[in-house]
Amino acid sequence: MGCLLDEYNMKINHDAHMHTFLSNCCHDEQHVPLNILKKASQMGIKKLCFTDHMWAKEIKLDDAWYANQDFNHVMQVKNMIPKDTFGVDVLIGCETEYLGDGLIGISQETASKFDFVLAPTNHDLTNYFQRKGIIESKEMAENLIQRFKEVLSFDVANGIAHPFLPLGYFERGDEILSYLSEEELNECFSMANEKKVSIELNTDTFASNWNRHTDHFTNEAFLRIFEIAKKAKCKFHFGSDAHSLEDMDLLPKMQRFVDWLKIEEDDINPLFRTP
């Protein structure tokens, strides 16, 4: 096991997006804090944030999937963290949900109880687009921009999870992303910078990590987007979005993209910088 440090030897030394078995979508019984922290230490991770899915009970939602994933549920992770964290600094966060039309799963009061709140803009894309009758790629791009700004307007997020990822539409991913103009993206990222909300470099974002890289969905489409974010002086955080111990191995694969974007320590969300 000791050889893993040499095997990974990565500059990416934090993971701001980590699920456990407390998330309903995690089916790995071994994906518990003890095992996660042990492996994170072997990978050279210095800071790790647990971010299980959460919808606050005070915000009414008729959705069975989120019914049991409230604040008290995700905060159970605190009691599961071992005394010896293997040299990894642990933060307690959550990944909430945005369903469009002004419906977000966390209040400012509840958000203040976490070290770090991730807000996605795209988990519910398929249902949202179907409800709105949106089928054209250009319309989808316009709504990705709109949803990004709406999430920021709630002032509950510290970071945006997998921004602009066209979940459910990878077969025309590049086409959708091509309609995101530099001006619109700059406006979004300038807003994020002003609100001190960091942009996530997520392992899901890069198609090659999941063998999704095709002529219709490429890594290059997102490198363009993140380059604009960097020019807008946004801060970044890294996230494996791991739902299993195996998923954690995807994090170091992002190093080549980090190098291409020339992301340095000063570009990282201060919460995840290490001495």
Q: Which pair of structure tokens corresponds to residue 180?
A: 């995101």
Q: pLDDT band for 209, please (50, 70, 90 cuts).
A: confident
- Domains in the chain with CATH codes: 12-267 (3.20.20.140)
Lay out the sheet containing 89-95: strands in order across: 14-18, 47-53, 89-95, 116-120, 159-161, 198-202, 236-239
Task: For residue 147, report the phi and psi dihedrals to the nearest 5 degrees.
Answer: -65, -35
Q: pLDDT band for 210, please (50, 70, 90 cuts).
A: confident
Indicate the average pLDDT of the chain: 93
Mean pLDDT, residues 110-135 taken together: 95
Examine the pLDDT at 9 and tell me if it is beyond 60: no
Query: Which tens digit of pLDDT belongs to each residue from 19-73?
Result: 999 999 999 999 999 999 999 999 999 999 999 999 999 999 988 888 899 999 9
pLDDT confidence of residue 3? 35
Query: Which tens digit of pLDDT belongs to each residue from 257-266?
Result: 999 999 999 9
Q: Is 151 exposed, middle or buried (0-12, 13-18, 19+ CB in 10 A)?
A: buried
Instruction: Report yes or no: 36 and 48 within 8 Å, Cβ to Cβ.
Output: yes
pLDDT confidence of residue 2? 34
Task: For residue 66, report the phi and psi dihedrals to the nearest 5 degrees.
Answer: -90, -5
